[in-house]
Amino acid sequence: MAATERLFFALLPPPAIQAELGRLAAWCERRCGGRAVVPENIHLTLLFLGELAPGQVEAVCRAPAGLRVAPFEVRLERIEYWPRPRLYCAVPLQPLAAAAALAAALQQAVRDVVAVPARPFSAHVTLLRRPRRLQELPMPPIAWTATGFCLMSARRVDGELHYVPVESWACA
């Protein structure tokens, strides 16, 4: 049987913002222990699809073709601790309506290919997993303009997790 791929749609910040969020993640790790997300893996998940077979991957790549998405601002202003997945993440102060709308549109677009459990979208960028100490973590606001979105594949290479863009779409 052909190998499956673990896929998700995401916003990728521009490299300078990824680096800034990566420095913030490393600072969180120094304060709380745990494992910081490395800068090149920093992303904002729009829709997690799970393990897909090769035929499904091709269909998912075709699915967003008709979507028209205007560029929108992503502004992260606060670090939250989420106890269930045990992670610290950077979140906006107000819900990101444009990202939520894009996530919903993607879920609709792929509905004939993959049934994604309906779960409320909550914009966040994971910074640190499995902290050993909990504390208040302040952050400076970090913002960028999203000009597109990607289909990402989570792959393990030599034991290291890499998030690799498989396909990308530009805002119009």
Asked if 56 touches ligand 2AM (CB under 6 A), the answer is: no
Q: Residue 142 or 154: which CB sits closer to ligand 2AM? A: 154
Asked if 18 touches ligand 2AM (CB under 6 A), the answer is: no
Asked if 154 touches ligand 2AM (CB under 6 A), the answer is: yes
CB-based contact 1:55 (threshold 8 Å): no
Asked if 27 touches ligand 2AM (CB under 6 A), the answer is: no
Distance separating alpha carbons of residues 37 and 43, to the nearest angstrom: 10
Asked if 26 touches ligand 2AM (CB under 6 A), the answer is: no
Q: Which two tokens stand for residue 39?
A: 């800068």
Supply the minimum distance, in Å, between the C-beta of residue 6 and ligand 2AM.
6
Q: Residue 166 or 172: which CB sits closer to ligand 2AM? A: 166
Evaluate the CA torsion angle 78, 80, 97, 149 in order and state its sign. positive
Among residues 11, 22, 24, 45, the one that binds ligand 2AM under rule CB under 6 A: 45
Asked if 72 touches ligand 2AM (CB under 6 A), the answer is: no
Per-residue binder mask for ligand 2AM (CB under 6 A), 103-142, x = binder: -----------------------x----------------
Supply the minimum distance, in Å, between the C-beta of residue 172 and ligand 2AM.
25
Dihedrals phi, psi of 113, to nearest 5 degrees: -105, -45
- Kindly write down the DSSP assignment for every residue of 19-80, as one continuous string: HHHHHHHHHHHHHH-SEEPPGGG--EEEEEEEEE-HHHHHHHHHGGGG-----EEEEE-EEE
